[in-house]
A and B are shown apart, each in its own frame.
Chain A
């Protein structure tokens, strides 16, 4: 299942994807994602920004498999995944969510969490002990990249870690599978600014070193500019701005917010501005 991302045509290809939700109590539909087309090159990091309700999360859910599009197709690493359940997408897609509770199992040790991440990759749901020496080495190597000393705590319950440490573990778990596409759903937005910066920088280092294509949703415009190769903006279910590395060169947070306002007539909630 696992794919080496630099050998495929595109890490992600979304074709004419539509997702509607029924508004409660009425027979009207709200179109959350409206004919979106998006292709992500292997190994590139794409930042996605947009206000609340712009359809970013719905789009991410359809790529991760927790929701299915009404129309259109989704391909990850050249493989069609449109109607595939999320558990079958392991190895193709890895998702790190905003809330650390949803990325690691607090009631399990770090090593056990890695055993689950690793077993998902090779589908070995067998009756051998889960935490082997190989899994422990894998966990230690993956965690050492963060330089937070987590590699010495792999037998601790994950619930004893702080939010920042848990997100570091989540990124390490998600990338150790070498997924075709890594999805980051505001994965540092629950952390304080210093921890957010550290985890974000380490995430970029790891993703670049492993050449994992990444789609990152963020509310932090400076992260969106600094840690990406390409920046896209979603508004009312559509991609309204798409800046490559040339378009992004020299872009400041103030420029970005101004362009957003002129495109949409709304102000963008930016955690960096609010802070």
Chain B
């Protein structure tokens, strides 16, 4: 039953990161915008949710406020990109740095305790669920609803124009798509989702600390990489299902690592290593462990050379 227990812990901790992972998928994969603001939006979303809860709002409204604050962050990043012609990567780094101060300003303190406040999890728990199962239920509901909403959106006319803007700007524009508005909308949606997870995490752990945003983008990145490796297709439905499975698999792996005795401060290193392994598997398959001189090794060598020959520098200034 230890395996089952590991899976349950994976679902408990992982599923509330579903919206964040889908936000990262939306920004990086659908819109092709490597937006690091998502990390800052996670923190700002958590801070806003916490302060609204402390000021007596109900958990759902507080969460909605958190999402709105994330959307504002996404809007600002998009404006830096569209109107100041700033590289998205650079804009995201700046916005994430700023987000630290913004979170502190919203909270008015370094951390806020929510132990006396009712949260969404308490509300679900009032139906007779344990705290573990209420976390799984809330996480699953948010992940599945957001996944369904994105699948629906990306198959509408508007969603199709968002996808087009993320695939080829020149082609999209020649088909009548105002790509800069698509990019703004895309970053607003993605950052809103990151902030949603921020708000959920704060409610789930019962306190808000400004440091929760640090490194959180890597969790979503790990989920995205795992998800994209499950079904290697640009189609929307398998990709989104893959991202949700990815966040779950990632958390199960981390839980296993902890159970095997890995000290908690190694979690971030373990996360990075998981991502490295997945990227290596994606790009090389089992070429790394092929016998020298075998057909598999030659194929891996060819692909490696193709990569080096086609590598391009990107100047982000």
Contact = CB atoms under 8 A, between A and B. Distances in A.
Interface string B152-180: 01011111110110011011111111110
B177 A107 contact: no
Interface in B127-144: none
Contacts of A103: 171
Contacts of B178: 85, 87
Contacts of A88: 176
Interface string A85-104: 11110110011000001111
B176 A126 contact: no
Contact of B176 (A90, A104, A112): A90
B293 interface: no
Contact of B156 (A65, A105, A130): A130
Contacts of A115: 157, 160
A117 interface: yes
B292 interface: no
Contacts of A232: none
Given A107-B167, A116-B161, A119-B161, A126 B156 contact: yes
A102 B171 contact: yes
Nearest to A66: B170
A128 B157 contact: yes
A94 B176 CA distance: 10
Given A86-B173, A157-B234, A125 B157 contact: yes
Contacts of B170: 66, 86, 102
Contact of A119 (B157, B163, B167, B168): B157
Pick from B153, B157, B178 the residue with the most CB of A within 10 Å: B157
A86 B174 contact: yes
B173 A116 contact: no
A112 B175 CA distance: 13
A102 B158 contact: no
Looking at chain B, what size class is its interface with the partner chain? 20 to 34
A72 to B, nearest CB: 22
Contacts of B153: 127
A129 interface: yes
A127 B156 contact: yes
B179 A87 contact: yes
A12 to B, nearest CB: 16
Nearest to A120: B176
Contacts of B163: 105, 107-108
Interface residue SS majority, chain B: helix
B170 to A, nearest CB: 6
B82 to A, nearest CB: 13
B175 to A, nearest CB: 4
Contacts of B168: 101-102, 105
Nearest to B167: A105
A105 B167 CA distance: 7
Contacts of B235: 157
A65 B175 CA distance: 12
Interface string A70-86: 00000000000000011
A121 B161 CA distance: 13
A259 interface: no
Contact of B158 (A91, A95, A127): A127
A258 interface: no
A127 B157 contact: yes
Contacts of B177: 87, 116, 120, 125
Given A90-B176, A102-B170, A107 B158 contact: no
Pick from A104, A108, A123, A125 the residue with the most CB of B within 10 Å: A125
Contacts of B179: 87
Interface string B20-34: 000000000000000
Contacts of A153: none
A87 B164 CA distance: 13
A57 to B, nearest CB: 13
B173 A87 contact: yes
Pick from B158, B176, B178, B234 the residue with the most CB of A within 10 Å: B176
A142 to B, nearest CB: 15
A124 interface: yes
A126 B234 CA distance: 23
Contacts of A124: 157
Given A108-B167, A126-B158, A85 B176 contact: no
A131 B157 CA distance: 8
A239 interface: no
A139 to B, nearest CB: 14
A228 B178 CA distance: 33
Contacts of B173: 65-66, 85-87
B168 to A, nearest CB: 6
Given A94-B174, A102-B168, A128-B156, 17 more contacts: A87-B179, A88-B176, A107-B234, A108-B164, A115-B160, A116-B164, A116-B172, A120-B176, A125-B161, A125-B177, A127-B157, A129-B157, A130-B156, A131-B155, A157-B234, A157-B235, A159-B234
15 contacts: A66-B170, A86-B170, A86-B174, A88-B176, A90-B174, A94-B174, A105-B168, A108-B160, A108-B167, A119-B161, A121-B176, A125-B158, A128-B156, A128-B157, A129-B156
Interface of A: 64-66, 85-88, 90-91, 94-95, 101-108, 112, 115-117, 119-121, 123-131, 157, 159
The 6 closest A-B pairs by CB, nearest first: A120-B176, A90-B176, A107-B234, A130-B160, A120-B175, A87-B173
